[in-house]
Amino acid sequence: MVKSKLEQEIIDALEAVAQDHGIDVVDVEIVGATKAPCVRVRLDRLDGESISLEDVTAQSAWVSDCVEQLDPIAGPYTLEVSSPGMARPLRRPSDFARFVGEPVELTTTAMQGRRSYKGTIAQATDTQVTLELEGEDPATISYDEVKKCVLKPVFDFKPKKEEK
């Protein structure tokens, strides 16, 4: 995954202590205006259980201390600590492998050709991901070319049919 140098520094600093807290650092993004950006940190639990609002609140203090110690941005910024949400970002090969069979939206850094894909993760190796695309041939993309990838939530509002 392509991350800015600053985002990667924050990820590295947080990951150095996250396991001690039973936490997985899902993603870090720096978004918003350059004068007062937002550092967005998404966390999940290492044990595979969904992280609750109480868990996020309990983890915010050490995340804040770690980011402050790094002092990544000169001037004011906002720190936002949250769960990965339904449109969970996928950052590492292990994330892609965990969600094989799930629908995703993926953007690449490729300057030539196609940059955006919507499909289902068919396979994930240590170096690339293969997506099944509806009505198209599968696409295999190197993680080095992935700019952003998020799970695409599927909502099924149809009532279940009762068995007779």
The pTM (predicted TM-score) of the whole model is 0.84
pLDDT at 111: 62
* Fold of the domain built from segment(s) 5-82: GMP Synthetase; Chain A, domain 3 (3.30.300)
Residue 94: predicted pLDDT: 94
For the chain, which ranges sit under pLDDT 70? 111-112, 162-164
* 31/4 Cα distance (integer angstroms): 11
CB atoms within 10 A of CB 82: 14
Q: What is the pLDDT of residue 109?
A: 87
User: 51: which residues sit within 8 A by CB, 6+ positions away?
Assistant: 43, 44, 45, 83, 84
Per-residue model confidence (pLDDT) at position 164: 56
Rg (CA), the chain: 18
Fold observed for domain 93-151: SH3 type barrels. (2.30.30)
Q: Are 61 and 21 in contact (CB under 8 A)?
A: no
Looking at residue 93, what is its pLDDT?
96
pLDDT computed for residue 142 by the predictor: 93
Q: If residue 75 lies in a helix (H) or strand (E), which one and from where to where?
A: none
Count CB neighbours of 127 within 10 A: 10
Q: What is the pLDDT of residue 112?
A: 63
What residues does each domain of the chain span?
A: 5-82, 93-151
pLDDT of 1 reads 73
pLDDT confidence of residue 33: 87
